[in-house]
Amino acid sequence: MNVETFKPDWSNDNEKLIVLAIVLGAFFTGFIAPLLCFLLAKDKMTEQMLNFTKTYFNWTIFLLICFVIGFIPIIGTLIAFIAGIAFLVVTIINIIAIVQEGELKVPAIIKILK
């Protein structure tokens, strides 16, 4: 699995707010928050933030696919369970990175938005 690392400009309050909206919003709304942030704020984002938003959107779409596969008996349930744990872990890692102003890490598994 390929993991992409992003180091936002933490002195820029807009970038910090966008990252927080993407990570926390994705936790509650799935792919909708990264998509809305991409569509509404793409003119105000730096290239690195644009790449982070696209990668996080792709990550949430991959999770949605895993949860749809979860409707398949036995093996699908296992895949959905593992995807759910991975989602929680990535979200917690990125929330800690936001608080500590560190590097954000997002698995880059599929690329829908390039």
The 10s digit of each residue's pLDDT in 73-109 is 888 889 889 989 989 998 998 888 888 888 888 887 7
Q: Inform me whether the pLDDT recorded for 1 exceeds 70.
A: no
Check residues 78 and 44 and name the one with the higher pLDDT.
Answer: 78
Q: Inform me whether the pLDDT recorded for 35 exceeds 80.
A: yes
Check residues 65 and 1 and name the one with the higher pLDDT.
Answer: 65
DSSP label at residue 9: -
Q: Are the C-beta atoms of residues 38 and 53 closer than 8 Å to each other?
A: yes
> What's the confidence (pLDDT) of residue 85?
93
Tell me the average pLDDT of the chain: 86
Which of 11-43 are b and which e, b meaning 16 or more Cβ less than 10 Å from the residue's Cβ? eeeebeebbebbbebbbeebbebbbbbbeebee
Whole-angstrom CA distances from 55 to 72, 99, 104 are 27, 20, 11
Torsion-angle region of 71 (φ positive above 0: left; ψ -120 to 50: alpha; else: beta): alpha
